[in-house]
A and B are shown apart, each in its own frame.
Chain A
Amino acid sequence: MAHHINTGVIGKEFPPFVVTIERGKIKEFARAIGDDNPFFLDDRVGQASEWGDIIAPPTFMTTFREAAGDGGDFLRELGTDISRLLHGEQEFEMHRPIRPGETFVCRSKVTDVYEKTGRSGPMGFVVRETAVTDRANEIVATIRSVTVVRL
Chain B
Amino acid sequence: MKYATTYFDDVKVGDELPPLVKGPLHQIQLTRYAGASGDFNPIHQDHEFAKAAGMDDVFAHGMLSMGFVGQLVTDWAGAGNVRKLGVRFAGIVRLKDTITCRGRVLAKSGKDLVDLEIWAENQRGEKVVTGKATVAIPPRG
- A residues sitting closer than 8 Å to B (CB atoms) are 25, 28-29, 31-35, 37-40, 49-51, 55, 57-59, 62-63, 65, 82-97, 144, 150
Q: What A residues does B89 contact at CB under 8 A? A: 86-90
Of the residues B3, B35, B53, B84, contact of A37 by C-beta under 8 Å: B3
Taking a contact as CB atoms under 8 Å apart, the answer to whether A25 and B79 are in contact is no
Q: How far is the CB of A124 from chain B (nearest CB, A)?
A: 15
**9 closest A-B pairs by CB:** A91-B86, A39-B79, A87-B62, A32-B36, A33-B67, A83-B53, A97-B80, A58-B82, A58-B70
Q: Considering only CB atoms, which chain B residue lies closest to A39 in the complex?
A: B79
Taking a contact as CB atoms under 8 Å apart, the answer to whether A63 and B36 are in contact is yes
* Given A33-B33, A33-B71; A92-B86 close (CB under 8 Å): yes
Of the residues B64, B71, B80, contact of A51 by C-beta under 8 Å: B80
Q: What B residues does A35 contact at CB under 8 A? A: 67, 70-71, 74
Q: Considering only CB atoms, which chain A residue lies closest to B80 in the complex?
A: A97
Q: What A residues does B39 contact at CB under 8 A? A: 62
Q: Say whether chain A's binding surface is mostly helix, strand, loop, or mixed.
A: mixed
11 CB contacts below 8 A, A to B, read A28-B35, A32-B67, A35-B67, A35-B70, A57-B67, A58-B82, A59-B63, A63-B36, A82-B43, A87-B63, A96-B80
* Given A34-B29, A57-B70, A57-B74; A87-B61 close (CB under 8 Å): yes
Of the residues A33, A49, A89, A93, contact of B68 by C-beta under 8 Å: A33
